[in-house]
Amino acid sequence: MFTVTGITGQVGSAVAQTLLAAGKSVRGIVRDPQNASGWPARGCELFVADLHDANALGEAFAATEGVFVMLPPIFDPSPGFQECRQLVGALRKALEAAQPPRIVCLSSIGAQATQTSLLAQLQILEQELGALPVIAFLRPAWFMENFAWDVAPARETGSLHSFLQPLDKSFPMIATRDVGRTAAELLLESWQGQRIVELEGPERITPLQVATTMGHSLEREVRAEAVPEESWEAIFRGQGMKNPIPRMQMLEGLNQGWIDFEGGKAEPRKGKIHLEEVLRSLASKKN
């Protein structure tokens, strides 16, 4: 039995699907079983628990071959990342109590960066869970599925407004299905101690290439346009964000290069899914 958090999301669902396809039993942690109603039919056991509830999580993690853990996305954190610290505290307490033989934890490219950004939440996660005896931190690149927000505007206006810049810079990117598949493969491997695995797609991609590929998927011309950095804060606050600075710092880090893979002791891996496949899937959905 393997326990998987985030089973209703893109990465967690890919973890569960890969494990089930390998003939393994899976327990998925959910807050609302109605949002995961299709999983029992696939042979997945559901365990209802809140990620703030260390006792419930400990019960879900107990007597398993391995556990996949991830934080829910917090794009608009309070100063000091208090939401993240509460969740990480509960996860650590639960994992210390359950002592699963293997843990794979979803982190991010740049989790080791010393400068503050939105990804500091993943650094907090790694620092706290790094005390556990057997754990692998999976650090994926920028998710290709992040471009889902750009499909409708590109379809309507022919413009891709890019926060990643310069437009001809190649960025490491990865499909979420590759992230979930890799996490499941790590759970199925035998290892001891701590691992850091850095994951990117088959090739690095520029925003210009994203626009061209999106245009092919939408069957129209799409132009990439850099969003001026001086307008970011107003845009994000207009979207309802109260604390957009960490998000802006993350984008600055990616653009300037101080958010990148660590290399060194980290294990590099490559995904299999190309951007074209992801954007074709996104374009086929009615936004």
Distance (Å, rounded) from C-alpha 30 to C-alpha 280?
Answer: 29
Distances 68 to 16, 136, 138, 180, 190 between C-alpha atoms, Å: 9, 10, 10, 10, 15
When pLDDT is cut at 50, 70 and 90, the band that residue 49 belongs to is very high
Closest C-alpha among 207, 204, 203 to residue 159: 207
Quote the pTM value.
0.96
CA dihedral 109, 81, 72, 154 (to 10 degrees): -70
Which residues share a beta bridge with 69?
105
- Percent of the chain whose pLDDT exceeds 90: 97
Average pLDDT over residues 8-26: 97
Residues contacting residue 83 through CB under 8 Å, at least 6 positions apart: 74, 77
Average pLDDT over residues 224-244: 97
Q: pLDDT tens digit string along 152-207?
A: 999 999 999 999 999 999 999 999 999 999 999 999 999 999 999 999 999 999 99
Domains of the chain in start order, with CATH, are: 2-283 (3.40.50.720)
Q: How far apart are the first and last CA of the chain?
A: 37
When pLDDT is cut at 50, 70 and 90, the band that residue 286 belongs to is low
When pLDDT is cut at 50, 70 and 90, the band that residue 42 belongs to is very high
Average pLDDT over residues 94-113: 97
When pLDDT is cut at 50, 70 and 90, the band that residue 37 belongs to is confident
